[in-house]
Structure 1
């Protein structure tokens, strides 16, 4: 059974994410950390009659270290949410320092933990974590994940709607690769299951909607919030998949996550051949195992439109990744 830690647990994503993890039978201990209000969230959740015990910590009395001690999986939704008119890259300066400090604490207190990064911009914050872990001598690329599951969840929802089968949304599987920001998000609609036959205009419209689904939420909330509930669902779904793999369960379908491609050298070679460029991080289909990334799967045959979209994604990702690496370098 698993001790799970949520960092940023009192926020708009953190609270519903913690609620979903409290319901997971694999979690026996749920440790919550945030800069304010965490003890209250923990007590509230502790009244739910599921197996996991819940504790809440704030910065006082070395709370972050206590929250991390003995944990096996860390989920990080901490940071500033996206505001109207902001891209995920606009969030970088606000969130980079937060993620950097959290990564240092993980390296010191939970060096073997699986680390799931939700804090935006994921394209840059995951490389920051990697650089911190490298400096501390504990980096295992198989155990570091950028959570891109929301893009997969949105793709399944939007494609099922376009196919006139919204009641079957859970049955739709649409690969989404690349990154987790705007044009770096590349849905492979040609590989959707069940298959459907959109015309080119529909393909372009669906692709843009999946890429910029977060803007749709911000607009609907009248600029007073962002995608918190759907992100919490997606984050919990991926965290549970990781924990199931830790317990020895093998999934029939691949998960998708933004990972260091060196986590599976053979699999990354096949990916690189398709995308036509070397990129350190990329969201790929993968099989999870007891040690994290077990296998990176090929991307499959891409349409001409998808190949063009991947090229744009790789170009943008290069800048995003470099920004994260250089942030850590400037911290030295």
Structure 2
């Protein structure tokens, strides 16, 4: 059992950064939900956030009041649709994180979520394009492979699209990969850094275990790959229909948000995170968006890293991922065009 002091120390090591004279206004859209609440709690601890702006269709003022009692310096405000709440939440934002949407249930794929979540993301993207067009937009709402293109198309229609400022948050796949490999190889998660490329659903998730510096048996590679690709199903099943991966996703979302703030606000160099962005890596195959390691900078995407050397098994995974991604992306774009 951790003491309060130990918990505080762990949280500070995970999410605090060096104090900066600058700080950002960060909005969380869907802040009262299963991901939004723990995500907001983690972001409240960042010294790089001056104003944490929370929006949801219900309960957000209560969530904001609760978080506002935490003794970190950021202001917290809670907004609902009444009285131009979404406009107030977004105006002046530097970063917008979007976990809004319905969660997966047993038997559902991320694609099954599309019809409901696509409409939610579209409407939130329209508001962002109007009220904070230069903000960095971090999309967590599933299916990310389709919702990121939805945001892009909305911003294009509004004439404010900047591909360097739009991110699909795929960090959970890397977090899972690190944890799962650390368990198998009996090493710390720091010694189990795994590059994961592609997208953020099923076969589009491609862990590059060969680049980890560890050796694996064929059976280990197949088992780990499947677990990393379908780790979300493991959580949905374990929660017995009551929810999906909310806490681990909140952790991953906070990690990526904090990394972006370190690069854009604190001016730190060599901040690299995996993320689903507009990319030329597989553009020739018709895949406009792709996740690889991305170096973050003052304007968002600084450098998109190449895939690097892969083995035959991983090439097979990429070959399976590319057509699926192409279809997912096309579905998102078609939703807006329709």
Shorter-chain TM band: over 0.9
When normalised by structure 1's length, the TM-score is: 0.93
Residue 252 (structure 1) shift: 4.0
- Partner residue, 1:272: 282
Identify the match of residue 207 of structure 2 among 172, 187, 198.
187
CA distance in 2, matches of 1:322, 1:272: 14
- Is the aligned partner of 1:218 residue 2:236? yes
Contact 2:58 2:80 (8 Å CA) reproduced: yes
After superposition, residues 153-164 of structure 1 pair within 5 angstroms as 153-164=175-186
Q: Which runs of 5+ in 1 are unaligned?
A: 262-267
- Partner residue, 1:265: none
Identify the match of residue 99 of structure 1 among 113, 118, 121.
121
Residue 284 (structure 1) shift: 1.1
After superposition, residues 199-278 of structure 1 pair within 5 angstroms as 199-252=217-270, 254-261=272-279, 268=280, 271-272=281-282, 277-278=285-286
Residue 158 (structure 1) shift: 0.4
- Partner residue, 2:110: 88
CA distance in 1, matches of 2:298, 2:313: 36
- Is the aligned partner of 1:73 residue 2:132? no
CA distance in 1, matches of 2:236, 2:190: 24
CA distance in 2, matches of 1:205, 1:13: 27
- Is the aligned partner of 1:59 residue 2:58? no
SS in 1 for 2:82: coil
Contact 2:33 2:100 (8 Å CA) reproduced: yes
CA distance in 1, matches of 2:217, 2:43: 40
Identify the match of residue 165 of structure 2 among 114, 122, 143.
143
- Partner residue, 1:174: 194
Residue 220 (structure 1) shift: 1.3
Residue 44 (structure 1) shift: 0.1
CA distance in 2, matches of 1:36, 1:290: 34
Per-residue deviation, residues 259-306 of structure 1 (Å, max 9, x unmatched): 011xxxxxx3xx339xx7231000011100000000011111011010
Q: 1:236 to 1:207 in 2, by over 3 A?
A: same
- Partner residue, 2:26: 4
Residue 171 (structure 1) shift: 3.4
- Partner residue, 2:290: 282
- Partner residue, 2:37: 15
Q: Which runs of 5+ in 2 are unaligned?
A: 1-22
Per-residue deviation, residues 235-273 of structure 1 (Å, max 9, x unmatched): 000001111110253354621000011xxxxxx3xx339
SS in 2 for 1:160: helix
- Partner residue, 2:310: 302
Identify the match of residue 291 of structure 1 among 299, 302, 306.
299
Per-residue deviation, residues 135-170 of structure 1 (Å, max 9, x unmatched): 0000000000000000000000001111022xx113
SS in 1 for 2:282: helix
Residue 114 (structure 1) shift: 0.1
CA distance in 1, matches of 2:258, 2:272: 14
CA distance in 1, matches of 2:80, 2:92: 17
Aligned residues between the structures: 316
RMSD: 1.1
CA distance in 2, matches of 1:272, 1:33: 35
Identify the match of residue 64 of structure 2 among 42, 47, 52.
42
Residue 71 (structure 1) shift: 0.5
Contact 1:250 1:288 (8 Å CA) reproduced: no
After superposition, residues 113-124 of structure 1 pair within 5 angstroms as 113-124=135-146
CA distance in 2, matches of 1:160, 1:278: 35
SS in 1 for 2:334: helix
